[in-house]
Amino acid sequence: MRSYAARTALVLHFVWLLQTDGAEGDLEAATVKRAVKLINYFKSHLRLVYARLRQTPEDHELLEALDWVRKNGNRCTARQLQRARKAANTEKARKLMKEMAERGYGRLDWLDGKNLRKMQGFLFDPA
């Protein structure tokens, strides 16, 4: 990205000259700072893209389920995951909850059900 920073600085310099109708001069420090700021923005997005490129279909499935959990009260049971079509059956839902816990997205715990029975569930922990 270092070479891109130099090129971006030059592009910004000439865009600035065209905008202000100024005479061609030396590259200013402010322009270089702007280019570095822009490159840092691109780098943060590049990291996100590279992380997505390395994802397996299982990773994608897990992240979709995790996103659903976060949007639906930060907790779920295997049955809820199955009803939301994030897992094909209860056994796969349990494996998915266990995998989310093992990856550090939260923890497995006993939750109170509607009929006052305890059932195992997943609690999302953003920390």
pLDDT tens-place values along the chain, 127 residues long? 778 889 999 999 999 888 887 777 788 899 999 999 999 999 888 887 887 778 888 888 999 999 999 999 999 999 999 999 999 999 999 999 999 999 999 999 998 877 788 889 999 987 6
Are 117 and 124 spatial neighbours (Cβ–Cβ below 8 Å)? no
pLDDT, position 55: 80
Place of tokens 């891109």: 4
Place of tokens 């779920």: 76
Q: Is the dihedral of CA 66, 70, 76, 80 positive or negative?
A: negative
pLDDT, position 117: 86
pLDDT, position 70: 94
- The CATH code belonging to domain 57-124 is 1.10.10.10
For the chain, the domains span 2-53, 57-124
Q: How far apart are CA 41 and CA 44, in angstroms?
A: 5
Q: How far apart are CA 109 and CA 32, in angstroms?
A: 52
